[in-house]
Amino acid sequence: MGQFTPTPHPILKIPGAAAAVALGEQKWIQYLKRREDIIRREQHDPLRHGWEAPIWKVCDALLGLPWTDQERGQRIREILGFEEPVRVLLILGGNRASKTEYAAKRMTQLLHYKKAANAWLLHSTAPRSVETHHKLMWKFMPPQYRHFIRSEVEYISYKQKTGFSEHKFVLSNYSECRFMNYAMEKDDALQGPEVDGWWGDELIPPDWIEELEIRAATRSGFGIVTFTPVQGYTATVQMFQDGADEVLDSVAFLCPRDTGDPDVARALGFESEAQMERAHREQRWSLPTRFDVNCEKLIQEQPEVPEGRRFDRVPRIMRSANHNYGIVFFHTNDNPFGNPMEVIRSIKSKATAFVKERFYGLANKTVSCRFPKFSVKVHVIPPEKVPAEGTNYMFLDPASGRNFVWKYYRVTKEAVYLYREWPGNYEIPGIGVPGPWALPDGKKLDGRPGPAQTPFGFGLLRYKQEMARLEGWHDARRGMSEKIRKKLEKAGELEREERLRLGIGGRLKTIQQRDVTNWSAENGADERIFQRFIDSRAASSPRVENDRPRTLLTDLEEIGLVFELTPGDDIGEGVAMINDVLDFDPELPLSFFNKPRFYVSSECTNSIFALQIWTGSDGYKGATKDFIDLDRYFFLSECDYISDDFWQTTGGGHW
């Protein structure tokens, strides 16, 4: 074999001496030649022959890229709870985690896969675009295109110093790639045809993402945002991550929760230090995490946590509150070509937040949500898990300039259950499904108003109808005339109308207002409400009508709705009480002695979003404040469980 020295490679292992002897000299030589040929082709044509990290395939599945395995992609999305491919994928990555390589390669594949495709690549400035985007797109350009081409259709002119001429290139299949930057005026930069794919690197502003998403929609296009969170929890990260569900997490072996040292070997994917040392002698710097679809789970093949050790966990994949968005975290060890050991040496003595940022891609949120213990996995339960028995309370916030908001709580001996909200993620007769109350926003920490805040035009009687519908008042059902009932039966729609509580809203407006005024839950209801409370400030604010003072509280009483007033508006005390009932020790298994005392039905989507993101930073105009206020009012009111015995008479004594 002479003086031949195999080319080092972080993935292609060189079998040891025992394996060489077992193969024999000829087969050993053939193996080495094949290995060298793979390395040569990988370097010469990385688009067709380059190695790809396993996490890349997960991103492909979330985006539903058409040239990938569609069946496997759909299976992965189903397991992770994504109903459809995402339109925009945020990739948060540690240093040298390969996120920019992924985006550049997928944009190149799009241009070659689809005829006349348009791809837009955006960076902070033109020089940064040349340094990063231009260089990587040239790297993934197939060899036959890597020269000056100028024809009727094709135009490719590249210099390492200045990038692509005129900041664009055109392929023979009419596909075109344009390079832009955020220093340009947005309205000028984003003019032109629809786009099939776009890639925004680093500090892309939220409004650019929203505009690009619209431009890609007509072509069923997709977008990728890549970001190393050195700037922290930016407006763009906030837009994706606020209210997002963590659907897969990982062990952060560099972030111990005990007194031990960071486990560098396992952070790099090795089972032991000895295995890591052997691999490093061969310049194989990490074992990237592999993923496998198994039954109902996406298996993440990480090393086992040593007995007695404890480490933080970090998110790996998140489903954004906006279901068109998804988030994937690239860890530095995902890219063995990036020499992750050197990254670890430079960060392992730093603070935990810095390590999570630079190795695991986790943005540090400096302004935190006011309910840090709230966990979708722990506090959110399916509606069928809400106990059927308990004491029900209703709390109403009559917002000014937007729709009223109210919630229903069920108190048992052991816990409180938020089991319904209005408006919610369900049909309201005459309105339809109203959509979210609040949405993630790149600038407002507490979100921005959603479509459900747009006034429905309801008066007090219409709100009363909604309460009667939800609670199943018998008066509401009796309000339907026999003539209308028979008409619905004939049309086969009675079952649907029963579900909406007969006689309320929609086409059934023949019920006179005076009838609604006389409706009362005391005449029978499917759901018994023990007490109703209303925001004391809004309900008690006086106004003068016909030379006499009136309040909302008296208006409600006149139509047969009796409310108690909530306690004073002590935000700090109310927040503390919510945190108290949410509290549990995440380090210990859930048990009778370690469990929260407040649970939320998964159907209460607006409440879940508010509990996830509300900071209070936007003050009284915060988009999620109304839903938090009701929780504060409830716990400040000290609503108790009332047993059935409370209502029974007991024999008296004598005197």
Q: Is the pLDDT of residue 260 over 90?
A: yes
Q: Is the pLDDT of residue 585 over 60?
A: yes
Q: What pLDDT digit, counting tens, does each position of 208-243 carry?
A: 998 999 999 989 999 999 988 877 778 888 889 988
Q: What pLDDT digit, counting tens, does each position of 355-369 carry?
A: 999 999 998 776 678
Q: Is the pLDDT of residue 173 over 60?
A: yes
Provide the pLDDT confidence category of residue 160 given band limits of 50, 70 and 90.
Answer: very high
Provide the pLDDT confidence category of residue 544 given band limits of 50, 70 and 90.
Answer: low
Average pLDDT over residues 15-34: 84
DSSP 637: T
Q: What pLDDT digit, counting tens, does each position of 337-349 carry?
A: 988 999 999 998 8
Average pLDDT over residues 131-135: 95
d(CA 290, CA 52): 11
Q: Is the pLDDT of residue 203 over 90?
A: no
SS in 3 state form for 144-170?
Answer: HHCCCEECCCCEECEECCCEEHHHEEE
Mean pLDDT of the chain: 88
Q: Quick one: how far is CA 437 from the chain centroid?
A: 16
CATH of 376-462+526-636, one of 3.20.20.70, 3.90.1330.10, 1.10.10.10, 3.30.420.280: 3.30.420.280
pLDDT in the model for residue 647: 52
- Residue pair 549/543 in contact (Cβ under 8 Å)? The answer is yes
Q: What pLDDT digit, counting tens, does each position of 616-648 carry?
A: 988 888 999 999 999 999 999 999 999 866 555
Residue that the structure tokens 């990982």 belong to: 250
Which two tokens mark 352?
């935990």
Between 3 and 580, the higher pLDDT residue: 580
Which range is least confidently modeled, 4-18, 113-127, 565-579, 614-628?
A: 4-18
Average pLDDT over residues 139-161: 93
Q: Is the pLDDT of residue 268 over 60?
A: yes
Alpha helices in 282-429 (DSSP H): 340-347, 352-360, 376-379
DSSP 525: B
Average pLDDT over residues 477-492: 56
- Residue pair 456/431 in contact (Cβ under 8 Å)? The answer is yes
pLDDT in the model for residue 28: 85
- Residue pair 455/399 in contact (Cβ under 8 Å)? The answer is no
- Residue pair 518/531 in contact (Cβ under 8 Å)? The answer is no
Which two tokens mark 568?
């004073």
pLDDT in the model for residue 247: 94
pLDDT in the model for residue 254: 96
Q: What angle do CA 630, 635, 641 make, to 5 degrees?
A: 115
Return the domain boundaries, the chain.
1-44, 376-462+526-636
Sheet strands side by side (includes 531-534): 380-381, 598-601, 416-422, 405-411, 391-397, 531-534, 564-565
Q: What is the DSSP string of 411-435?
A: E-SS-EEEEEEES-SS-BTTTB---
Provide the pLDDT confidence category of residue 27 given band limits of 50, 70 and 90.
Answer: confident
d(CA 361, CA 258): 22
Which range is least confidently modeled, 33-47, 133-147, 186-200, 399-413?
A: 186-200
Q: How far is CA 243 from CA 234, 286, 424, 438, 447, in A?
A: 15, 33, 16, 10, 10
Nearest to 362 by CA among 337, 325, 324, 331: 331
Q: Is the pLDDT of residue 493 over 80?
A: no
Q: What pLDDT digit, counting tens, does each position of 85-127 carry?
A: 999 999 999 999 999 999 999 999 999 999 999 999 999 899 9
Q: Is the pLDDT of residue 504 over 90?
A: no
pLDDT in the model for residue 501: 41
Q: How far is CA 95 from CA 29, 344, 395, 415, 637, in A?
A: 37, 10, 48, 45, 50
Which range is least confidently modeled, 300-304, 312-316, 396-400?
A: 396-400
3-state percent helix, strand, coil for the chain, nearest multiple of 5:
40, 20, 45
Q: How far is CA 281 from CA 274, 277, 285, in A?
A: 11, 6, 9
Q: How far is CA 412 from CA 22, 133, 347, 417, in A?
A: 70, 59, 49, 8
Q: Is the pLDDT of residue 481 over 60?
A: no
Provide the pLDDT confidence category of residue 541 given band limits of 50, 70 and 90.
Answer: confident
Provide the pLDDT confidence category of residue 274 given band limits of 50, 70 and 90.
Answer: very high
Q: Is the pLDDT of residue 194 over 70?
A: yes
Provide the pLDDT confidence category of residue 491 given band limits of 50, 70 and 90.
Answer: low
Between 133 and 16, the higher pLDDT residue: 133
DSSP 222: E
Q: CB 306: neighbour CB atoms within 10 A?
A: 13
Q: What pLDDT digit, counting tens, does each position of 313-328 carry?
A: 999 999 998 889 999 9
Provide the pLDDT confidence category of residue 495 given band limits of 50, 70 and 90.
Answer: very low
Between 250 and 481, the higher pLDDT residue: 250
- Which residues 6+ apart lie within 8 Å of 259 measured at CB? none
Give me the percent of the chain exceeding a pLDDT of 90: 67
- Residue pair 153/170 in contact (Cβ under 8 Å)? The answer is yes
Q: Is the pLDDT of residue 277 over 50?
A: yes
462's enclosing H/E stretch is helix 460-471
Which range is least confidently modeled, 185-199, 264-278, 412-426?
A: 185-199
d(CA 533, CA 611): 21
565's enclosing H/E stretch is strand 564-565
Amino acid identity at 287:
L
